[in-house]
């Protein structure tokens, strides 16, 4: 059975001040993500359907908090809470120092990720990934 820890993850990505270590487990991405500064990711989703994230996420907040708009409701996820965000959500605010673990279907996450990386580069944000862009 596949497993991963933050330390054993072999893939990494940085977009601005967001640092990600991850592994693909049977079609799902397990991402250990650190938000080093407050971030509103809304501008990075421009160009996706309705300018919203197209990937569902299941996760757990280890430290900090994050706010996500689901439909017309803003959901706040705090340290110690598990969460689910459906496709079509908007990540509004991730506080500096927030650490989360998220599980997402690889295909949907990659589709959203390509747009996020393109928008980040257009805004002159640092983008680094451990794998070549497909």
Q: Where are the domains of the chain?
A: 11-129
**Rounded distance, CA 118 to CA 9, Å?**
24
What CATH number was assigned to the domain covering residues 11-129? 2.60.120.10
Per-residue pLDDT tens digits of the chain, which is 134 residues long = 689 999 999 999 999 899 999 999 999 999 999 999 999 989 999 999 999 999 999 999 999 999 999 999 999 999 999 999 999 999 999 999 999 999 999 999 999 999 999 999 998 888 998 865 54
Q: Residue 131 in 3-state DSSP?
A: coil
* pTM listed for this prediction: 0.91
CA-to-CA distance for 99 and 54, rounded, in angstroms? 21
């Amino acid at each position: 059975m596949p497993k991963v820890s933050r330390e054993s993850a072999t893939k990494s990505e940085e977009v601005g001040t967001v640092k990600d270590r991850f592994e693909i487990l049977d079609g799902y991405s397990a991402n250990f993500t650190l938000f080093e500064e407050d971030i509103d990711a809304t501008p990075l989703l421009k160009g996706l359907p309705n300018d919203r994230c197209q990937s569902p996420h299941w996760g757990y907040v280890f430290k900090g908090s994050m706010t996500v708009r689901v439909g017309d409701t803003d959901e706040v996820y705090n340290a110690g809470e598990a969460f689910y965000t459906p496709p079509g959500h908007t990540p509004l605010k991730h506080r500096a120092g927030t650490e989360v673990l998220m599980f997402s279907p690889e295909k949907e996450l990659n589709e959203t990720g390509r747009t996020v990386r393109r928008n980040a580069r257009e805004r002159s944000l640092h983008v680094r990934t451990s794998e070549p862009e497909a």
